[in-house]
A and B are shown apart, each in its own frame.
Chain A
Amino acid sequence: NAGVMQNPRHLVRRRGQEARLRCSPMKGHSHVYWYRQLPEEGLKFMVYLQKENIIDESGMPKERFSAEFPKEGPSILRIQQVVRGDSAAYFCASSPRSGPETQYFGPGTRLLVL
């Protein structure tokens, strides 16, 4: 059973470009979470999605950031017009249900904005 997969593992963008980060949850998991880890900091929650629904996006910046989890295919975290402050590691996690379930994390995408 493959774990949570994320791609790309590393992404370099220039200021003003768009970044698309992909996450495929573990097989059988329909709950996806995105977290951001800034340098020298812990992980901060961004958004929680189920298939075709954004359940909670209270941790997402109000502008330039969006997320989706379509019926088919991976979850996408999209950052438009990136700025240097967006440089971070972005982690996706999945769980089979809501509640106090263990969240299993992917290897992360490390975004560097030049």
Chain B
Amino acid sequence: AQSVAQPEDQVNVAEGNPLTVKCTYSVSGNPYLFWYVQYPNRGLQFLLKYITGDNLVKGSYGFEAEFNKSQTSFHLKKPSALVSDSALYFCAVRDILTGGGNKLTFGTGTQLKVEL
């Protein structure tokens, strides 16, 4: 089975500074990786995904992620953090279901706190 790990429960960063939220993956075959964000009492919003192609993926709200095959990582980044970026971030990997189709297997989430 595929899996992802988010080693940090919480990341604190000052507004205007760059931010990184870490994710490493373990897959057999080609990895299909996703980042989602969850605001309090809301659903998950899709940020970006890596399927194939460029290792640097650009997504919504100024976020980007870098796929690194040698380090099996897919870290989420933003050059300049905003207070409004404070939320819970989930990394996910596509996992093939034995019955057909796919599911997402999520990491445990990283709480991002951006302070003034």
Contact = CB atoms under 8 A, between A and B. Distances in A.
User: Do chains A and B stick together as partners?
Assistant: yes
Interface of A: 4, 6, 31, 33, 35, 41-45, 48, 55-59, 91, 93, 98-108, 110
Interface residues of B, number: 27
Interface stretch (B14-22, B36-44, B61-69, B71-79): B36-44
B101 A43 contact: no
A100 B51 contact: yes
Nearest to B9: A40
B25 interface: no
B102 interface: yes
Contact of B103 (A4, A42, A59): A59
Nearest to B49: A102
A100 B94 contact: yes
B46 A104 contact: yes
Given A55-B97, A100-B51, A45 B103 contact: yes
Contacts of A35: 104
Given A56-B100, A98-B101, A102-B34, 18 more contacts: A31-B101, A33-B103, A35-B104, A42-B108, A43-B44, A43-B90, A45-B95, A48-B99, A48-B101, A55-B100, A55-B101, A57-B99, A58-B97, A91-B44, A103-B46, A104-B46, A105-B44, A107-B42
B43 A106 contact: yes
A98 B100 contact: yes
B101 A45 contact: no
